[in-house]
Structures are given as C-alpha cells and as structure tokens.
C-alpha cells in the first residue's frame, strides 16, 4: 500500500508578520513547525502501514526552508519525502496549492490513500484536502477520527459537531484527519539519524509539468485584500443572559449599526 501525506510548514507563533506588498505571511526566518493536524495525518499513515505494509511518503509545497518539516516527518517514520518548491508557487491560494500538489501526485503515480490534516494553523481554510481530491477526481472523506482499510475499500468514522458518521468508499481516496484521531509519536534517535541522512529531492514547476499560469499569486483567483492583526483590547459590549435574549439584543444592535 502507498500512502501519501501532505504536510504544511506553519509559523510556530501567533506573532505573524505580513508582507505589505503581497499581503502574504513573512515566512523567512520565522520559527516554524509541521502543522499539528498534519502530524496526526502522518501518525495515521504510519499506523496503516504497520497494519497493511507498504510505504509512507510525505510531500510539501513550500519555500526551501520547508525541507526541515519533511525531515521531521522522516524522523517520525516516513519512508520518503519530496519538497515541491519553485518561486512560481509563491503566494498560492488554496486552488493553486491543490493544483500544484495534484501535479506532484500525478508524477508520483501509484498511491492508495492520501492523508491531509483537517486544516492549516495559518490559512485555516480547510480547503486544500477537498480541493486536491477534486483535482485528482478521487473520493474524499473529511474530519476522519478513524480509518480502516479492507481489500480495496476504506471505512472512515467522521467526527461531526454532535455525532459520528461512518462513510465507506473505494481506494484510491483522500481523507483529512482531526487531532482526536491519534497521539502522534515522537521521533526516536534512530529516526532522527535516518532523517539527517535522508535524500529529499526538490521538484520544480517543470518537474511536475505544472502550468505556471495556474500556480502562485498569478494562478490564484483569491485576492487577499488585506491581512492585519486586530488591535488588542478593543472596546466592546459583552451581551449576557438567556440565549434568545442575547440573540434578540444582538439583532437589535446590528440593525442599529445598519449591518442588518
Ligand atoms: C492568514 C491567511 C489567510 C489566508 N486566506 C486564504 C483564503 O481565504 N483563501 C485562500 O484560497 N487562501 C488563503 N490563504 C492562502 C493559503 O494559506 C494557502 O493557499 C495555503 O497554501 C493553503 O491554504 P490553508 O493554509 O488554508 O490550508 P488548509 O486548506 O487549511 O490545509 C489543509 C491541509 O492541506 C494540506 N496542505 C495545505 N497547504 C499545503 C502545502 N503547502 N503543502 C502540502 N500540503 C498542504 C495539509 O495537509 C493541511 O492540513 C491564506 C493564507 C494566510 C496566511
């Protein structure tokens, strides 16, 4: 079985700096980590491999520094890693990101299950997983808390707001993982040593035959007009009381403010 895990390197801080020119996050020189939900996706892939055999590959689209996140994933136990990096990918929105990842996965070719995190800590859209499945034309199951493979079938238990849902589908497929799915393992010394020596190829737009008009800022229909950190301690009114009363007062306030 071939498992592909898509991981994103995210800033290890809430104190993010925004590039006023491009309205994108300044990532250079910022301490960064593997997106926590993606650690659950790596752990889920490793557990499925231990049960069914096969190989776990981790991929990320990002700047050269994202190689560090891939090495951490190899230290956890991933067998292979690929960095998908090119200046043409800078400023990608979720459509451009899922297109670029799909091109890389088309080059990888043979896979049974793609695992993503539920969402990224910085962009927070939860769009890339479903977008990637759409690009590849494969079934997707989001918010996975359990995933089992039988023959060529997949059975996923989804965590919804107030209940669970069990979905069955065929492979190849894509799932997005929630944090309650598992406790990601910590890398051991053997893993860290293996990661230090690991060969991690970098694939450019040419290597994945990506149409650069569909990549990066140019290929992104989403135009982030402004990103800013709201001022702290802004004055505001706290509505207290019965829910229906609070809702009634809120609607009144919104009407007074001509929002509604
Ligand atoms: C503050 C902020 C707001 C943004 N708002 C928007 C917006 O509204 N719309 C928009 O289109 N873009 C937005 N972006 C850009 C967006 O972050 C990027 O498009 C990003 O590559 C993917 O979206 P995401 O971070 O929301 O990831 P999500 O869709 O939340 O990520 C879900 C999963 O997809 C996988 N994944 C995500 N990115 C990568 C990657 N680069 N490599 C490998 N796997 C990956 C991971 O498994 C991850 O857990 C925003 C960025 C920032 C920093």
The residue that leads in pLDDT, 13 or 246, is 246
d(CA 42, CA 189): 18
Q: Residue ranges per domain, the chain?
A: 2-214
Tell me: the pLDDT tens digits for 188-239? 999 999 999 999 999 999 999 999 999 998 899 987 777 777 776 667 888 8
CA 10 to ligand 1 center in whole angstroms = 10
Closest CA to 99 of 210, 177, 236, 182: 210
The architecture that CATH gives domain 2-214 is 3-Layer(aba) Sandwich (3.40)
- Of all protein residues, the one whose alpha carbon is nearest to atom 41 of ligand 1 is 61
Span 118-126, mean pLDDT?
93
- Of all protein residues, the one whose alpha carbon is nearest to atom 17 of ligand 1 is 123
Which protein residues are within 6 Å of ligand 1, measured from CB? 6-8, 25, 35, 37-38, 41, 60-62, 92-94, 97, 101, 116-117, 119-120, 122-129, 222, 224, 227
CA 180 to ligand 1 center in whole angstroms = 21
pTM for the structure as a whole: 0.88
CB 35 within 8 A of CB 121: yes
């Amino acid at each position: 079985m071939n498992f592909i895990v898509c991981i994103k390197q995210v800033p290890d801080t809430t104190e993010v700096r925004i590039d006023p020119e491009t309205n994108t996050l300044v990532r250079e020189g910022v301490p960064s980590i593997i997106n926590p939900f993606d650690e659950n996706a790596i752990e889920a892939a490793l557990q499925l491999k231990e049960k069914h055999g096969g190989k776990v590959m981790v991929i990320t689209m990002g700047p050269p520094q994202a190689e560090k996140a891939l090495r951490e994933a190899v230290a956890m136990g991933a067998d292979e890693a690929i960095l998908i990096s090119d200046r043409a990918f800078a400023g990608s929105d979720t459509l451009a990101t899922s297109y670029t990842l799909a091109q890389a996965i088309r080059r990888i070719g043979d896979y049974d299950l793609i695992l993503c995190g539920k969402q990224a800590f910085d962009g927070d859209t939860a769009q890339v997983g479903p977008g990637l499945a759409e690009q590849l034309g494969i079934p997707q199951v989001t918010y996975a808390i359990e995933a089992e493979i039988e023959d060529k079938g997949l059975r996923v238990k989804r965590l919804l707001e107030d209940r669970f849902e069990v979905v069955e589908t065929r492979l190849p497929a894509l799932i997005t993982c929630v944090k309650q799915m598992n406790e990601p393992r910590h890398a051991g010394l053997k893993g860290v040593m293996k990661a230090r020596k690991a060969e991690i190829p970098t694939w450019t737009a040419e290597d994945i035959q990506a149409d650069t008009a569909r990549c990066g800022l140019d290929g992104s229909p989403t135009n982030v007009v402004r990103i800013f950190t709201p001022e702290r301690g802004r004055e505001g009114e706290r509505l207290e009381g019965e829910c229906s009363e609070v809702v009634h007062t809120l609607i009144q306030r919104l009407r007074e403010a001509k929002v509604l």
